[in-house]
Amino acid sequence: MKKVAFPNGVPLFLLQSVIILLLVACDGSNGDTGVNPGGVDDVTYDVDANGIPRFVETDYIDLGSIYRISRFRSAEGHDYSDEFESCRSMKHYYNPQTGTDWAQIPIYSPVSGRVVRVFEEWAGTQVQITSDDYPAFRFVIFHIDLGASLEEGDQVAAGQQLGTHIGSQTMSDIAVAVNTPDGRKRISYFEVMSDGLFQQYQDRGVAARSDLIISKDERDADPLTCDGESFTSDGSIEGWVYLNPVP
């Protein structure tokens, strides 16, 4: 069969391949827009109309190893925003205490649900899980050294150990995204915690969930600047919450 070519001599099949590569390269999703198996991406939850449910009973990490946590919408790390906001870190970094062997910190599934994405990052493996109870909610856990093989479509239980943190080359971080009727929206991990789980943070000196969240209005009034995913300014708002030592 004769190949169809454009006037400039570029074969059609080659142009199609280039277009596909460009679409993949331009995906500004930070890795959490992959289609869920079983049509879970068709499930939505309107957080504006219904509020955010507090359904997470199990922490994803050993809190006793941690001494500070970055605030939602901080300037820590890199830009990790959504379809509604830009140039802010809409996740939480967990920084272990001095002297802790980072590679020994266990990482758990915070919910019972389905693994919808697993892929290698520059350090460790990223795992994304949708909740069985609230399938529109997706939990993204970064930089895991998996303890056993984990594949997309696998079921995990709340509290099931996924592995350990990869090591001292990077902090552990977690993000939560909700598939809303208007698009994917990132929310704070602390907004979905049960009161019982959040009590563990209160026991370490965190007075309120809001202490760990920079509001949209606060961030908009003190904007950051970005070059790609890199922050080029830090703003004036404190980006970390420091925990009291373990009693």
Q: Where are the domains of the chain?
A: 30-242
> Whole-model pTM?
0.85
Read off the pLDDT band of 40 (50, 70, 90).
Answer: low
Residue 196 has pLDDT above 80, yes or no: yes
User: What is the second-level CATH architecture of the domain 30-242?
Assistant: Distorted Sandwich (2.70)
The pLDDT confidence band at residue 19, using thresholds 50, 70 and 90, is very low
DSSP 5: B
C-alpha distances (whole Å) from 233 to each of 59, 208, 210, 222, 225 are 32, 27, 23, 10, 5
Average pLDDT, the chain: 88
* pLDDT given at position 35: 41
Enumerate the H helices of 1-156 as residue ranges: 12-25, 47-50
φ, ψ of residue 11 in degrees (nearest 5): -60, 145
Q: What is the pLDDT of residues 67-87, one digit of tens each?
A: 999 999 999 999 999 999 999
CA gap 128, 22 in Å, rounded? 24
